[in-house]
Structure 1
Amino acid sequence: MSATDSAALEDRALAKTWFYPFRLPSGRTTPTYGVGELDPIHHTRSQMLDALLAQEFPGDRSALTAVDLACHQGWFSAQLAQAGFGRVTGVDTRDEHIADATLIRDALGLSQWQLHQSDVHALQPQDVGGVHDLVLCFGLIYHLENPVGALRVARSLTKRVCVVETQVVPGMTGWVDYGSYRFVRPLKGSFGIIDEIDDTHGPEASTTGICLVPSVEALVWIMQRVGFKRVEVLPVPAGGYEQLVHHKRVMVAGWVD
């Protein structure tokens, strides 16, 4: 790519407001909403992802592949490509997100990053080249009416490890008479129902408006049930974003083996 083409792509990126503060090759950063009050959540999640990459994928990553489900404008896809993954596929259902991610990919010169438009529930492994060393599912499942189905899709794409980041709700514990006092079942977790019916036009909202948000206990249990052999809540760095620090959001990793 010529210097003129690169500069033109940067100018296009800098001319709009983004959800993420992308650092461009010139050193300039894309403008974000408000006064950057959302930037700390992106940086905290990036720190947590970097820590997992260092632990699970040290050394040369050129033979590794990754899928970023609900990649939005491509913040984490770009991070994986810049971290050395040989092939990264970002998946999103919204036209505008695919367009934005394509612009950022080209502006950053990340040729190993490709994009695929699909609803997560319709996604098949063959659509994204089979199974992958790393699958990301960040900021997605709490916007879905079928989060369990989305986690099943994530598992079907995972060769080694899947990382899920989500808002969570307070958990419930206890026992339920399941049809009769003679048949009692323990609660494994709980879901909260969030109404986004009036927000489906928004780029960061649900596409259907009905959202089932899991508790931490529910998320861990479901990931185990859909086929992850080991599931762990990842630690939050000191000074991290307040929702992650105070367990209102979590990042959870699930390993296949």
Structure 2
Amino acid sequence: MSANEQALLDKIWFYRFRLPSGRVTRTYDDGALDAIHETRLAMLQDVLRARFGDTLAGRNAIDIACHQGWFATQLAQAGADDVLAIDARAEHVADTTLVRDTLGLANLRVAQCDVHALDTAALGTFDVVLMLGLIYHLENPVGALRQARALTRQVCLVETQVVPGMTGMVDYGSYRFVRPLKGSFGIIDETEETHGPETSTTGICLVPSLEALFWILRKVGFTRVELVPPPENAYEQLRYGKRVMVAAYVD
């Protein structure tokens, strides 16, 4: 067993990584959260299979806010020519790099950057853009979705918590000027939790309603937006619509 693999096995991870020896990493709370990752992966794979077939050969991808790199490694192992994993936290970049090196994934690159600081012109566009578990930790989710659109050549997958929507008409300066609500955001306070590896880096979080997410994705330039159906055995939040995955296309 390599030293890298031993280092992976000595740590408790957010994801269950299968290692070259066949052993798997230990995960938080004795695997209590594994189901959410497996559900998200199944939903992601359904979209990519419908779009690209059984392989990502000839395709490239970017995983924005990659965390420990689990989804990025899945794309690399699915045969993508090039996968770029990006995260704002140095510890996540180090974790993803260790996983990449242990699995021998020469087609996976890792870099540290906040989503809002990405130089989209320099990076170019990608067949697959992942934005999983990110926008509900941001104070500027609209700006992040604009970044995602600039990077997308074919499809962007956004997975997020959502809040209950609001509908109706609003007096907009006067009763004579009335505008319809296109969706809503809920404010979540993570200001005391920014040290946590799965939380906001700023602490102010704007969580969209599903209606808001669809409307914004269209407004930032995606031509088609679809809700990805969860599998029958989905993690409860995705099964009951408390979290959603949306596929946004550039056709």
- TM-score (norm. length: structure 1): 0.96
Q: Which residue of 1 aligns with 2:65?
A: 70
Distance (Å, rounded) in 2 between the aligned partners of 1:111 and 1:42 = 24
Does structure 1 residue 151 correspond to structure 2 residue 131?
no
Residue 186 of structure 1 corresponds to which residue in structure 2? 180
Q: Secondary structure at the match of 2:83?
A: strand
Q: AA paired with 1:219?
A: L
Amino acid in structure 2 at the alignment position of 1:144: L
Q: Work out which of the residue numbers 221, 225, 231 in structure 1 matches 2:225.
A: 231
Length, aligned pairs only: 251
Are residues 1:141 and 2:130 paired?
Answer: no
Give CA-to-partner distance per residue, 1:121-179, whole Å, 9 cap, x none: 01012453x10101000000000000000000000000011010000000011110111
SS of structure 1 residue aligned to 2:192: helix
Which range is displaced more, 23-32 or 188-197? 23-32
**Partner SS state of residue 243, structure 1:** helix
Q: Identical aligned pairs, as a percentage? A: 63
Counterpart amino acid of residue 83 in structure 2: V
Looking at structure 2, the residues matched to 149 and 60 of structure 1 have their Cα atoms a distance apart, in angstroms, of 31
Structure 2 distance, partners of 1:51, 1:61, is 13
Q: Which residue of 1 aligns with 2:245?
A: 251
Of 72, 84, 106, which residue of structure 2 is paired with 1:111? 106
C-alpha separation in 2, matches of 1:122 and 1:59 = 33
Q: Is the 8 A contact 2:39 2:234 kept in 1?
A: yes
Residue of structure 2 in register with 1:85 after alignment: 80
Supply the RMSD in Å over aligned alpha carbons. Answer: 0.9
Detail structure 1 runs of 4+ shifted over 3 Å in the superposition: none
Relative to 1, partners in 2 of residues 1:22 and 1:60: Cα closer, same or farther, differing over 3 Å? closer
* Alpha-carbon distance in 2 for matches of 1:191, 1:237: 27
Q: Which runs of 5+ in 1 are unaligned?
A: none
Tell me the distance in 2 between the aligned counterparts of 1:60 and 1:10: 27
TM-score (norm 2): 0.98
Partner of 1:13: 8
Q: Secondary structure at the match of 1:163?
A: strand
Helix, strand or coil at the partner of 1:52: helix
